[in-house]
Amino acid sequence: MIEYASQVAAADPVAQERQWVSRIRLGDEAALGCLVARHRNRLIRTATNLLRDRHEAEDVAQESFLKAFREIGKLRDDRAFSGYLYRICVRLCMDRLRLKRAELVEFDSAQPHQGGAVENKVMVEKLLAQLPAELRATLVLREMEQLSYEEVAEYMHVPIGTVRSRLHTARERFRKLWIDAVGER
Amino acid sequence: MIGEKACVKFDRLVHERSDRALSQKEELFINQHRAICTACAQEEELSFMAFDMLREAVLEADVDSGHFDLRVVRLAKVQQAKESVRYWSPALIGGAVACLAVFASLKLASFDGSVKKTHPPVGQARRVITSFPDLELPNVIHRNP
Ligand SMILES: [Zn+2]
């Protein structure tokens, strides 16, 4: 697997990925491993920040890879693989977020907050949990994952205008929730 | 440079600043408005703190990469095998049914008929229509059991 990766390492990443995709179609297991190794960390990181749960993120990343490999034959353009993979991942995360929102955790104002890094992460988690899945995903992809508008639009499968308006609303709501929460501290 | 309209414009530009470079004129407006409107300056400060905290709350992927890769590749292989079985099984079943049908028809064709051509039945089967309904066979049997 590693040998195979080093053989084609000299090529540019896009061409390399295209080659892997076409080899997977022919049943090449090494190419499968290369593609997983390339996208694994970023995919799990994105899912982790969307779901705020590392174990669930790993499950979603695994499910995304399997779904993408299952439908690799349907891809018209081999270069489209990574976009397709991230789109599946974001969609799966949003499905889970919608389910989670139904069992929304109340913000616990009685809990002591000292403003430490862990405290802040917990607080961000609770604030994000109060946003609808679409707004939350847009905010996380843009602010935490630092994706461009075009990438957010591609991964969420919506027009750029929708990303713009969702982001505006999400920022506004997050800011208000944050001000309320800080006021309660 | 102050008033509700100016505050709305300030708010909009503060939002847009994180997505695009503002023009010199827009930057100048923001600076001037901030200097004279305490409410907007405070809002901007809070926004800055809120999004700073959001960005600081980024979680990094913490995964046993070797284990993850092996698991995904293994599951993908199992999935591929299942898919190919699912893809080929209707064709295999169809082929088996066709083979059975061909075999059965060949077997039937090789059987001799119950009436051999070399041994035709003796006598003739004949039905005679008469002008006397009483003499028609069913009626005769019915009357004389
Ligand atoms: Zn103002």
CA distance to A12, B94, B102, B104, B111, per residue, from B107 (Å)? 64, 20, 9, 5, 7
Unique residue bearing structure tokens 């970023």:
A42
Residues A92 and A116 in one domain: no
pLDDT of residue A112: 41
Are the Cβ atoms of B57 and A124 closer than 8 angstroms? yes
Residues A114 and A151 in one domain: yes
Looking at every residue in chain A, the average pLDDT score rounds to: 85
Residues A112 and A84 in one domain: no
Separation between Cα atoms, residue A152 and residue A90, nearest integer Å: 10
pLDDT tens digits for range B129-138: 667 767 666 6
Does the pLDDT of residue A4 top 70, yes or no?
A: no
pLDDT tens digits for range B118-127: 776 677 666 6
Contacts of residue A72 in chain B, CB cutoff 8 Å? none
Looking at every residue in chain B, the average pLDDT score rounds to: 82
Residues A128 and A71 in one domain: no
Last residue of a domain, one of A64, A84, A100: A100
Residues A50 and A87 in one domain: yes
Are the Cβ atoms of B53 and A124 closer than 8 angstroms? yes
pLDDT of residue A167: 93
In total, the C-beta contacts within 8 angstroms joining chain A to chain B are 99
| Contact in structure between A174 and A131 (CB atoms under 8 Å) | yes
Structural domain total, chain A = 2
3-state SS of A152-185 is HHHHHCCCHHHHHHHHHHHHHHHHHHHHHHHHHC
Higher pLDDT, A176 or A109: A176
Are the Cβ atoms of A62 and B62 closer than 8 angstroms? no
Confidence of residue B142 (pLDDT cuts 50, 70, 90): low
Residues A64 and A122 in one domain: no
Residues A92 and A144 in one domain: no
Higher pLDDT, A143 or A119: A143
Name the phi and psi angles at B79, rounded to 5: -60, -40
pLDDT tens digits for range A105-141: 544 444 444 557 788 888 999 999 999 999 999 999 9
Contacts for A124-130 with beta carbons within 8 Å, 24 or more apart? A124/B53, A124/B54, A124/B57, A125/A52, A125/B57, A126/A181, A127/A174, A127/A177, A127/A178, A127/A181, A128/A52, A128/A174, A129/A52, A129/A100, A129/A101, A129/A104, A129/A105, A130/A104, A130/A177
3-state secondary structure of A111: coil
Least confident of A18-27, A30-39, A113-122, B19-28: A113-122
A25-40 per-residue burial string, b: 16 or more CB within 10 A, e: under 16 = eeeebbbbbbbbbbbb
pLDDT tens digits for range B66-96: 899 999 999 999 988 887 787 777 788 888 8
Confidence of residue A80 (pLDDT cuts 50, 70, 90): confident
Last residue of a domain, one of A100, A128, A144: A100
The residue of chain A with its CA nearest to that of B42 is A179
Contacts of residue B16 in chain A, CB cutoff 8 Å? none
Least confident of A41-45, A114-118, A145-149, B10-14: A114-118
- Supply the range of the domain harboring residue A50: 1-100
| Contact in structure between A48 and A57 (CB atoms under 8 Å) | yes
Last residue of a domain, one of A75, A100, A125: A100
Residues A47 and A128 in one domain: no
With a pLDDT cut of 90, the percent of chain A lying above it is 58
Separation between Cα atoms, residue A148 and residue A133, nearest integer Å: 19
Q: What is the mean pLDDT of residues B5-29?
A: 91
With a pLDDT cut of 70, the percent of chain A lying above it is 85
Residues A118 and A81 in one domain: no
| Contact in structure between A2 and B70 (CB atoms under 8 Å) | no
* DSSP secondary structure of chain B: --SHHHHHHHHHHHHHHTTSPPPHHHHHHHHHHHHH-HHHHHHHHHHHHHHHHHHHTPPPP---HHHHHHHHHHHHHHHHHHHHHHHHHHHHHHHHHHHHHHHHHHHHHHSPPSS-TTSPPSS-------S-GGGSHHHHHHH--
Residues A5 and A95 in one domain: yes
CATH number for the domain harbouring residue A14: 1.10.1740.10
Q: What is the mean pLDDT of residues A11-29?
A: 86
pLDDT of residue A107: 47
Residues A39 and A11 in one domain: yes
Cα-to-centroid distance, B46 and ligand 1 (Å): 14
Are the Cβ atoms of A178 and B53 closer than 8 angstroms? yes
Contacts of residue A54 in chain B, CB cutoff 8 Å? 59, 61-63
Residues A85 and A166 in one domain: no
Least confident of A106-110, B2-6, B13-17, B71-75: A106-110
**pTM, two decimal places:** 0.73
CATH number for the domain harbouring residue A167: 1.10.10.10
- B8 CB near a chain A CB, below 8 Å? no
pLDDT of residue A149: 92
Q: Beta-carbon neighbour count of residue A128 at 10 Å?
A: 24
